[in-house]
C-alpha cells in the first residue's frame, strides 16, 4: 500500500544571520551591510511529517521548491533536494537556501517526500506552506537603514522544572527581571526565577500550587497573586516582595480560582478572580492594606476560566469567559461595564465552553477575541474562535 504523507503544521525558524531595521534613514543613504560581509540567505525549516494518522519515523527524501503563489505561480530559486533525512516522531529539519528571493512579497514552499529507501516518484504535499514572517528579516539587509541588529529566533535557551505548569508571568522589579511559573500539581508549587544574564537561575520563593499568577504594583510595593483551583476549600494568596523574596501577605477567599486580573479605575485597585467551581466569580478592591470583596458581585454562577479588563472611549469593561453551567457548555460569556460604582451586565456573547478573552486594537477599531473549546458533544472540540468588533 502506498503511504500517504501529510504535514499538519510547518514552522519556519530563522537561525542564521538575521537583521531587523531599528531606525530609518533619509532618502539617498547607502544601505548598510552586515558586519563581516554579506548576509546569508539560508534559513532553517522545521516541520512535522505524518504517514496517515501517525507520526513518521525513519529516513525520508525531501524536495523543496519555492513559489510566488499558493497554487500555480512561478518558481523562485533552484530546487533543493535532500536524501535520507532523519525524521523522529514526525519532526524534521532542513537547511534551505533559495538565494536572495525574499523581497517582501508572499512566498510559498512546496514540499514533496518519499521514503528514503525509495527511488520512485515524490508525493507532493498539499497545500504549499506560506513562509512568513521571519525570512523577511533578510530583506532588511537591503533596506535603507543606518543601523542593523543581529538576532536569532526561536532558539531554546533553557528548560525549567514544572509540574502541571499552566501559566507564566514575566515582570521586573527595579533592574531585575523575573519569571513566575504557576504549577498546578500539589507537589510542584508555583516558582519564581531570577534572570541571571544568560538564563533564569534557580527557583526561589516557593508558593502555593496554582494555575495563574498576576504581578502588580500598588504604592511602590510589588505583589504577586496566585490563583489556586486545585481545592475548593483552599484560598488564593497575595504575595508581597520584601526586597529579597515574595512572602505571603494575605489570602482572598475564592473557591477554585482559575484566573486573576488586576486593574485600576479612577485610582482604585481591583482584582477580578474567576472560579472553576460552579459558583460566581468575585471582585475585590484594595482597602489600603488588603483586598476585600467589593460591590454587588454581579457575575454569572458558572464554571469560568478567564477575566479580561479593557477600556473603550473612557468606559471600563470586564469580560468573563464562562465554560459550563451544570452540563451545558452552550452558554453566554458576559461583558460587564463599570457604572461609576460597580460593574453591571452590558453584553452577552454566545460561547461554547468559553476559555478566554483577548482585547486588542487595530487602528481606530477595537476587537475582542473569545476562545471556544467545547460544545458538550462527546469528542467534538473543533470549535471556532469568535471576534467581536466595536
Question: Which pTM does this prediction carry?
Answer: 0.60
**Structural domain ending residue among the three candidates 151, 177, 209:** 151
Residue 276 and residue 229 share a domain? no
The CATH number of the domain holding residue 337 is 2.115.10.20
What would the pLDDT profile of 178-224 be if each residue is shown by its tens digit?
Answer: 998 887 766 667 888 888 887 888 666 666 777 889 999 999 999 99
Residue 125 and residue 42 share a domain? yes
The Cα 309–Cα 301 span in angstroms is 19
> What residue numbers bound the domain in which 351 lies?
255-390
Residues 36 and 7 sit within 8 Å (Cβ to Cβ): no
What would the pLDDT profile of 239-255 be if each residue is shown by its tens digit?
Answer: 999 998 899 999 998 88
**Structural domain ending residue among the three candidates 204, 224, 252:** 252
3-state secondary structure of 141: helix
Report angle CA 171, 264, 211 to the nearest 5 degrees: 50
The CATH number of the domain holding residue 213 is 2.40.128
Question: What does the pLDDT read at residue 17?
Answer: 24
Q: Which residue has the cell 504535499?
A: 125
The Cα 199–Cα 191 span in angstroms is 15
Residue 290 and residue 198 share a domain? no
Provide the edge-to-edge strand list for the sheet that holds 268-275.
257-265, 268-275, 282-286, 291-293
> Is pLDDT of 102 > 70?
yes
Give, as one character, the DSSP assignment of residue 142. Answer: G
CA-wise closest residue to 268 among 219, 334, 335, 215: 219
19-40: b (≥16 Cβ within 10 Å) or e = bebeeeeeeeeeebeeeeeebe
The Cα 324–Cα 275 span in angstroms is 12
Amino acid at each position: 500500500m502506498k503511504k500517504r504523507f501529510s504535514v499538519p503544521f510547518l514552522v519556519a525558524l530563522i537561525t542564521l544571520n538575521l537583521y531587523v531595521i531599528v531606525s530609518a534613514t533619509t532618502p539617498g543613504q547607502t544601505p548598510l551591510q552586515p558586519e563581516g560581509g554579506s548576509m546569508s540567505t539560508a534559513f532553517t525549516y522545521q516541520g512535522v511529517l505524518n504517514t496517515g494518522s501517525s507520526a513518521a519515523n525513519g529516513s525520508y527524501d525531501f524536495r523543496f521548491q519555492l513559489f510566488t503563489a499558493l497554487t500555480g505561480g512561478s518558481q523562485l530559486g533552484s530546487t533543493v533536494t535532500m536524501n535520507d533525512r532523519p525524521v523522529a516522531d514526525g519532526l524534521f529539519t532542513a537547511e534551505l537556501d533559495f538565494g536572495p528571493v525574499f523581497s517582501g512579497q508572499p512566498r510559498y514552499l512546496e514540499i514533496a517526500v518519499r521514503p528514503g529507501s525509495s527511488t520512485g516518484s515524490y508525493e507532493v504535499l498539499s497545500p504549499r506552506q506560506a513562509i512568513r514572517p521571519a525570512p523577511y528579516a533578510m530583506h532588511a539587509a537591503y533596506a535603507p537603514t543606518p543601523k542593523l541588529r543581529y538576532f536569532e529566533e526561536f532558539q531554546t535557551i533553557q528548560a525549567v522544572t514544572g509540574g502541571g505548569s499552566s501559566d507564566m508571568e514575566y515582570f521586573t522589579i527595579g533592574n531585575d527581571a523575573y519569571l513566575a511559573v504557576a504549577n498546578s500539581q500539589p507537589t510542584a508549587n508555583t516558582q519564581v526565577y531570577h534572570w541571571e544574564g544568560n538564563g533564569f537561575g534557580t527557583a526561589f520563593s516557593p508558593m502555593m500550587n496554582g494555575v495563574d499568577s498576576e504581578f502588580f504594583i500598588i504604592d511602590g510595593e510589588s505583589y504577586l497573586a496566585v490563583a489556586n483551583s486545585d481545592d475548593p476549600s483552599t484560598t488564593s494568596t497575595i504575595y508581597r516582595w520584601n526586597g529579597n523574596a515574595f512572602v505571603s501577605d494575605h489570602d482572598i477567599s475564592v473557591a477554585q480560582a482559575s484566573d486573576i486580573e488586576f486593574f485600576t479605575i479612577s485610582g482604585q485597585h481591583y482584582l477580578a478572580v474567576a472560579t472553576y467551581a460552579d459558583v460566581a466569580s468575585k471582585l475585590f478592591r484594595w482597602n489600603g492594606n488588603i483586598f476585600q470583596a467589593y460591590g454587588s458581585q454581579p457575575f454569572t454562577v458558572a464554571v469560568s476560566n478567564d477575566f479580561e479588563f479593557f477600556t473603550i472611549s473612557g468606559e471600563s469593561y470586564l469580560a468573563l469567559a464562562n465554560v459550563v453551567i451544570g452540563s451545558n457548555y452552550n452558554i453566554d460569556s458576559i461583558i460587564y461595564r463599570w457604572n461609576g460604582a460597580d460593574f453591571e451586565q452590558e453584553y452577552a456573547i454566545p460561547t461554547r465552553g468559553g476559555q478566554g478573552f483577548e482585547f486588542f486594537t487595530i487602528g481606530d477599531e477595537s476587537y475582542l477575541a473569545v476562545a471556544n473549546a467545547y460544545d458538550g458533544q462527546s469528542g467534538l472540540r473543533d470549535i471556532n474562535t469568535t471576534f467581536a468588533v466595536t
